[in-house]
Structure 1
Amino acid sequence: MNAEDDFDLIPGLDRTPAPPARRRRAPWWDRLSIYLPLILMGVLALGSYWLLRATPKAPEPEPAKPASGEPDYFMRRFSVRNFDANGQLRAEVQGDEARHHPDDDRVEIDRARVRNFGDNGSTTVATAQRLTTNADNTRFVLEGNAVVIREGGRDAQGQPLPRLEFRGEYLLIETEPQERVSSDQPVELIRDGDRLNAQNMVYNGETGQADFKGRVRVQLLPRPAP
């Protein structure tokens, strides 16, 4: 009989093999911490995909469209004044309606009235059924019962300036490169009471000379004897 048989004879001794020891499982937060980086990466990937699907596509650049000839703004029954640095009134524009055209930056004014005050104190008044100006206000087209009146005064040298009045259905006033009033349609010039009618005219404001073409008719007032 061997030693194992001796142990079998001991009363109360359980010879049943002990079950294997159970491994203790880690807490759930520990297990979650292991997989958390993978979960976060998956969430970020899904979020990025959703953003790409939800974000609208950038609009494709459209070819530049030419500026429209239709007016883009209006002014009705308006009055605009321009003052110099010393607060002196230099010009005033009034009209029933003004329209701005973006294609060439011109402005059309219905029933326009313009007053301009020169450096020498002279006043020039222009009226017309329609007045059109260019972008830099150096060209003024007067159409329909157009009248331009420059009151008398004195020039920069102190010499007297006669009163001038231009009348016609079409008058063109230019301020650059030199001041002049012209018309390619019948026009009337009144100078201190003298009247001159012509088929067309060009008047130089700097020299005071006027050139007439076509049929010309002149009416002069008698001058007192010196």
Structure 2
Amino acid sequence: MIDRRRLLRYGRDQLSAWLPALLMVLFALGTWWLVRSAPRIVDAAGDARVSPEPDYFMRDFSVRTFEPDGRLKSELTGAHGRHFPADDTLEVTQPRLRSYDTQGHPTVATARRGVSNADASEIKLYGDALVVRDPVAKAGGEVIPRLEFRGEFLHAFVDEERVSSDQPVELRRGSDVFTGDVFDYSDKSGVANLQGRVRGTLLPQGKTPGQDPS
């Protein structure tokens, strides 16, 4: 009988000693289960998915960008515009981009359709694409003739003052006409790089294409 009482007392002592630890284990398991079972909160910065659909539309619009000193840098107009948040681009119907170089000389780009980046510093022109820069008078009286670039696709880089294409292009410099399959022109260097089937027609000053050069 004494041994039984001692055994019961020993069991109560052991239970009292281990009870806090057992309660902590049960509490930890319960917390783990609640964390696993609770719905996850979506992190708006990391898990949000940007829709590939346009998020706003414009009609008969004009978007202007300015230099830090307030000088007008470019103006993009169009009949219709759709903004795509996925890549922050603007798709434009009948775009007309008028940009200015560091000396204020304008260049005008038009097409049936265009895709511009956020600040209109880069635009891809599709269908009857045309980029025109009027004659420019340099210091000393030198005049750089009118430049025209024509093709079904032109890629204009406003900040770099550059036009390129991986499709056939016609380049007109004054009365001279050049064509090529691949094209790149830098206004800063004044160099045009034509590749593929390249052809050129050079006319004396005062003549226009179609006239007899004799």
Q: Report how far residue 159 of structure 1 moved.
A: 4.4
Q: What displacement does 1:222 show?
A: 1.6
| 8 Å contact from structure 1 (residues 168, 186) kept in 2 | yes
Cα distance in 1 for residues equivalent to 2:52 and 2:140: 46
Does the alignment pair 1:62 with 2:42? Answer: yes
Q: In the alignment, which residue of structure 2 is the partner of 1:101?
A: 84
**Runs of 4+ in structure 1 over 6 Å off:** none
Whether the aligned pair in 2 keeps the contact of 1:68 and 1:103 (CA below 8 Å) is yes
Distance 1:75 1:158, change over 3 A: farther
CA distance in 1, matches of 2:67, 2:169: 33
CA distance in 2 between partners of 1:59 and 1:98 (Å) = 40
What are the equivalent positions in structure 2 for 1:142-153 lying under 5 Å apart?
Answer: 142-153=125-136
Tell me, in whole angstroms, the C-alpha distance in 2 between the residues paired with 1:66 and 1:146.
34
Q: Is the 8 A contact 2:147 2:173 kept in 1?
A: yes
Matches within 5 A, 1:132-147: 132-147=115-130
Task: Map 1:36-47 to 2 at 5 A.
Answer: none
- Cα distance in 1 for partners of 2:54, 2:99 equals 26
- Of 125, 146, 166, which aligns to 2:108? 125
What is the one-letter code of the residue matched to 1:94? T
What residue is the counterpart of 2:183 in the other structure?
201
Gaps of 5+ in 2: 1-37, 207-214
Q: CA deviation at 1:157?
A: 7.7
User: What CA distance in whole angstroms lies between the structure 2 residues aligned with 1:215 and 1:135?
Assistant: 35
Distance in 2 separating the partners of 1:194 and 1:125: 20
Structure 1 distance, partners of 2:59, 2:131, is 23
Identity level (%): 46
Return the TM-score normalized by structure 2. 0.68
Q: 1:121 to 1:66 in 2, by over 3 A?
A: same
Cα distance in 1 for partners of 2:197, 2:50 equals 43
Kept in 2, the 8 Å contact 1:122–1:152? The answer is no
SS in 1 for 2:60: strand
**Preserved contact between residue 162 and residue 186 of structure 2 (Cα < 8 Å):** yes
